[in-house]
Each structure stands twice: as structure tokens, then as C-alpha cells.
Structure 1
């Protein structure tokens, strides 16, 4: 569906309402560095290379393949972590303004969340979207600096994880990267202090430690498979 971008205007869009999410929750979402620690509390956080540019981005995994959501509450927008990129679905920065894509599924008929109150002021939900857009814009340069530092310090390593499930399916997490614990431990004190004072050390550790979430999501997937199997036998 073609975009129908309009600059958000209190008068023109006073009656516009939205859904909590626009369409299905993706299984992989790009995030900025300020989101890493919150994301790592409920899902694996990895680095992924763009097939077009070859540059790294930080991504949060909500499932192991397209169409699969394993983080509790994520499919309804009620997970412990909701990425800024999903919070702002249907809204875009346009110079000093916010543009809205009226063709986006978030604005399909039946939306119940107003953008403006009766006085024309942004609602609390709209203020969260404004904040999300601001965080994405300010976080882009910080994220590039963080990733450049990881690469410069040779802290990035490929993820080598193969998962076997109760239905016989085997999955490998291909094309994903994490922070090397061994390389991180090998850094001298001055470089560790530099990472810490820049705020990058906490994010690097968050990415590394979030690998524990892979096993939790795999167990949830097996539990879901078992539930589906029991239902099919009933």
C-alpha cells in the first residue's frame, strides 16, 4: 500500500485514532544503543549486517524466524520491552515536524487510541510517540559510534548457535554477531575505563549477557510446540 504522508496537524487530525501496533510484530527489530539494556532483559540482542551496505546494526530478536513471536506479550504490544521503532509505527520525522502515514495499518478503521485530546493537546500516547521519534533521531549517531568502537576494539564475533526442537526442526542463528567475552576480558584497564565512561561497556555487556535469552526463547518455543501437539490430539 502506497504511503499517504501528511504533516501531523492538530486541526486536520483531531479525530484521528490509532491501534496499539500496526500489523504483526516483526521477529527482529532494529534498536538504538540506549535500548540495549532494556531489550536484553527479555530477548536476545545481536548485531546484524545489512545485506545492502555491509554495516552492522543492533537488533532485538523476538523469535527465531519470520512470523514467530516468542517474547511474552510482544504480539499484543505488552512485552516488557517495546522498541522505539515499533512505538513510532506510522509516524516519521519530517524536519522539525512529525508526518503521519494515513495508509499505515496502524490507522485502519477501529482504532481506539486518540492522538489529541479535546483541547487539541497531544495525548499521553502521542507524547510517547514523539519521545520515541526523538530517541531514534538522537540515538542514531550514538549507535554508529558504539558499533564503530566495538569493531575497532575487535569485540565483535559471529554467533555460533544451533538449536534443535522437539518437532525435529533444527535452526542455526546465521548472519548474527555478538560481543566476544574473551576479547572483552583481554582489554587493558585504560580501554575498559574508556568504554565504561562512554557508556559503551554496559551496552556491550548487555549484548553479551542477552545470549542467555536464546535458551529461554527456545524453551518457550518447545512449550508452544507441545501445546499445539496436545491440542491436535484432543
Structure 2
């Protein structure tokens, strides 16, 4: 469906309502640098290359395949971590304004969350959208700089993990990257201090530590295999 972008206006869109999140939760979502530590507390955080540009992006992994979401509560929008990119679904920055894509499923008939209150001011839910867009835009350059720094420092290494599940299926995590613990340990003090001072070290360590979340997702997948489909959450 083609986009129908309009600059958001409290008069024109006074009666516009939205759904909390439209469609299925993606199994992989691009995130910004300030989201890394929160994401790492409940799911693996990796780096992935864009097939179009070959550039790295930071991604949060919610499942092992496009039709699978394994993080507790993510399927209903109640996970401990909700990416900003999902919070702003259907909304975009347009210079100093916010544009809304009226063709997006988030604005399909039946939406129950108003964008504006009776006085024409943004509702609390709309303020969350505004905050999400502001955070994403305000940290885009910082996120790119972090990625450039860890690539330049040779901290990025491919993930080499193969998982075998109770149904006999084997899943390999291809095309994903993490931060090398060995490379971090080999950094000289000057570079470590610089990474620490600009906040990159904490994010790099969180990405590395989040590898343990892969085991949690694998355990949840095996639990689902033993459950009837109606019991999935």
C-alpha cells in the first residue's frame, strides 16, 4: 500500500485514532544507541549489515526467523523493552514537523487511541510518539559514530552460533555480528578511556553481554514446541 504522508495537524487530524502497534511484531528491529542497554536486558543485541548499503546497524533480536517472536510479552506489545522504531510506527519526522502515514495499518478503522485531546493538545500516547521520534532523530549521528568507532577499533566480529531444537531443526545465526571480547581486552588504555568517556564502552559491553539472551530465546522456543499453539504468548 502506497504511503499517504500528511503533516500532522491538530485541526485536520482532530478525530484521528491509532492502534497500539499494527501488525505482527518484527523478529528483528533496528535500534539506536540509547536503547542498547535496555534492549540487552531482555534480548540479544547484534549488528547487521544493510543489504542495500553494506553499512552496519544495531538491531534487537526478538526471534530467530521472520515469523517468530520469542521475547516474553513482545507479541502483545508488553515486553520489558519496546523499540522506539515501533513506538513511532506510522509517524515520521519531516523537517521540524511530524508527518503521519494515513495508509499505515496503525490508522486502520477501529483504532481506540486518540492523537489529540478535546483542547487540541497531544494525548499522553501521542507524546510518547513525539518523544520516540525526537530520540531517534537526536541520536542518529551518535549511533552512526558509535558504529564507526567500534568498526575502526576492529571490535566487530561475526556471530558463529548454531542452535539445535527439540523438533530437530537447526538454526544458524547468519549475517549477524557482535563485539569481540578478546578485541576489547586488547585495546590500549587510551582508546578504552576514550570509548568510556563518550559512552561507547558501556554500549559495546552490553552488546557483548547480550549474547547470553540467545540461550533464553532458545529455551523459550523449545518450551513453545511442547505447547499447543493456543498457549503461545
Bin for the TM-score computed over the shorter chain: over 0.9
Q: Who is 1:34 aligned against? A: 34
Specify the alignment match of 2:133 in structure 1. Answer: 133
**Gapped regions of structure 2 (runs ≥ 5):** none
- Normalising by structure 2, we get a TM-score of 0.97
SS, match of residue 185 in structure 1: helix
Deviations 1:35-66 (A, max 9, x none): 00000000000000111111100000000000
Count of matched residue positions in the alignment of Structure 1 and Structure 2: 231
Deviation string, structure 1 residues 9-60 (Cα, Å, up to 9, x no partner): 0011111110100111100000011100000000000000111111100000
Q: Distance in 1 between matches of 2:167 and 2:5?
A: 45
SS in 1 for 2:227: helix
CA distance in 2, matches of 1:130, 1:197: 29
Could you tell me which runs of 5 or more consecutive residues in structure 1 were left unpaired when the two chains were aligned: none
How far apart are the structure 2 equivalents of 1:44 and 1:112? 32
Shift of 1:220: 0.1
Residue in structure 1 matched with residue 68 of structure 2 by the alignment: 68
Q: Indicate how the Cα distance of structure 1 residues 118 and 154 shifts in structure 2: closer, same or farther if over 3 A, else same.
A: same
**Normalising by structure 1, what TM-score?**
0.97
Over the residues paired in the alignment, what is the CA RMSD in angstroms? 1.2
| 1:116 and 2:116 correspond | yes
Structure 1 residue 57 corresponds to structure 2 residue 57: yes
SS at match of 1:163: strand
Query: What SS does the corresponding residue of 2:57 show, helix, strand or coil?
Result: strand
2 CA distance for matches of 1:196 and 1:229? 46
